[in-house]
């Protein structure tokens, strides 16, 4: 496998925007996680909720709306209009309220219900996000001077797997060897989900010296990738001496879904 130049990136689970206003309104928090994943058959449904809290000392208003979500190993991420992606489940979701006002330390629930269409051709994973965004009070606009206001919005992922259906498949897009701030060699691996179902690969790299002896197994943190999306995983090669090594790179996605490749690394 050839070494290709990649761009490291970070996929945000919440987003900050800065504008010219008076105060900070970043006190809205989500208490029960940014991912809700469920299995359902065609024609079935399920319910859930998003716990929203005002952790500030003033009343806060919040608006709730839908978007689709896509990302790439290169750092690009998009929140397009709901229903844009082929595998969007946004049209299956009913949610309320769409606007809420929270008193200090108050917690409210945004309830949602997912109804899977009775379509036999549905298979694999479908997803979208429910956006939870703090609203700037109307009377806080700055009249003079430049002041910073921090608004926060969360993208809560709503994931629907159609039973156990959908092809599981991924592809290694490229590799890059770099060094971190401590001069430790790091292997960065780009992976694309080319199947029909969400995958959560755990990446393992085993290195072998010239005598065929294993010098260790190196792991990257498990992360999820939706169909058509890609991720960049980093494997720090701590304690490995300079030299040429044979290697086996394996992405373990559980349930006997294991993908691997052989390569040679020169450190």
pLDDT digits (tens, 9 = 90+) for 134-151: 997 765 445 555 555 566
pLDDT at position 15 over 60: no
Q: Mean pLDDT, to the nearest integer, of 58-80?
A: 96
Q: 157 with 69: CB under 8 angstroms?
A: yes
* pLDDT computed for residue 18 by the predictor: 38
pLDDT at 224 over 50: yes
Q: Looking at the chain, how many residues does it have?
A: 267
Q: How many CB atoms lie within 10 A of CB 230?
A: 20
Taking the C-alpha atoms of residue 257 and residue 150, their distance in angstroms, rounded to an integer, is 43
pLDDT (0 to 100) of residue 185: 92
Q: What is the pLDDT of residue 50?
A: 98
pLDDT top residue among 9 and 212: 212
Structure tokens at 156: 């809560």
Percentage of the chain beyond pLDDT 70 is 85
Instruction: Flag whether pLDDT at 215 surpasses 70.
Output: yes
Top pLDDT among 150 and 79 is at 79
Q: What is the mean pLDDT of residues 156-169?
A: 97
Q: What percent of the chain has pLDDT over 90?
A: 76
State the pLDDT at residue 183: 81
- Predicted confidence at residue 22, as pLDDT, reads 40
| pLDDT for the residue numbered 99 | 97
Tell me the Cα Rg of the chain. Answer: 22
Upstream peptide bond of 97 is cis (omega within 30 degrees of 0): yes
Domains of the chain listed by start with CATH number: 14-162 (2.60.40.10), 170-266 (2.60.40.2360)
Lookup result for tokens 């394996």: 250
Average pLDDT, the chain: 88
Q: Is pLDDT above 80 for 207?
A: yes
Verdict on whether the full-model pTM lies above 0.75: yes
Helix (H) or strand (E) holding 216: strand 214-219
Sequence-distant (≥ 6) Cβ neighbours of residue 209 within 8 angstroms: 215, 243, 245
**What is the predicted pLDDT for the residue at 24?**
47
Task: Please tell me which residue, 144 or 42, carries the higher pLDDT value.
Answer: 42
Q: Inform me whether the pLDDT recorded for 12 exceeds 50.
A: no
What is the pLDDT, as a whole number, of residue 255? 77
- Could you read off the pLDDT of 179-195 as tens digits, one per residue? 888 888 999 999 999 99
Yes or no: say if 37 and 226 are a contact pair by the CB < 8 Å rule.
no
């Amino acid at each position: 496998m050839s070494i290709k130049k990649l761009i490291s990136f970070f996929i945000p689970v919440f987003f900050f925007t800065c504008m010219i206003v008076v105060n900070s309104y970043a006190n809205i928090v989500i208490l029960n996680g940014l991912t809700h994943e469920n299995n359902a058959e065609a024609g079935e449904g399920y319910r859930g909720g998003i716990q929203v809290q005002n952790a500030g000392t003033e009343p806060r208003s919040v608006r709730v709306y839908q978007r689709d979500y896509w990302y790439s190993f290169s750092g690009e991420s998009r929140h397009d209009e709901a229903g844009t992606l082929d595998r969007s489940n946004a049209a299956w979701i009913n949610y309320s309220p769409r606007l809420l006002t929270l008193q200090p330390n108050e917690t409210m629930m945004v309830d949602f219900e997912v109804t899977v269409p009775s379509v036999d051709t549905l298979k694999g994973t479908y997803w979208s996000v429910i956006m939870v965004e703090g609203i700037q009070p109307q009377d806080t606009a700055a009249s003079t001077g430049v002041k910073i206001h921090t608004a926060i919005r969360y993208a809560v992922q709503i994931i629907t797997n159609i039973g156990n259906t959908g092809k599981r498949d991924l592809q290694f897009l490229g590799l890059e060897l770099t060094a971190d701030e401590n001069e430790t060699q790091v292997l960065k691996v780009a992976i694309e989900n080319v199947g029909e179902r969400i995958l959560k690969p755990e990446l393992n790299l085993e290195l072998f010296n010239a005598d065929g002896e294993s010098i260790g197994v190196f792991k990257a943190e498990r992360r999820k990738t939706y169909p058509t999306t890609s991720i960049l995983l980093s494997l720090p090669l701590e304690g490995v001496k300079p030299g040429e090594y044979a290697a086996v790179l394996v992405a373990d996605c559980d349930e006997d879904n294991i993908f691997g490749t052989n390569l040679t690394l020169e450190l």
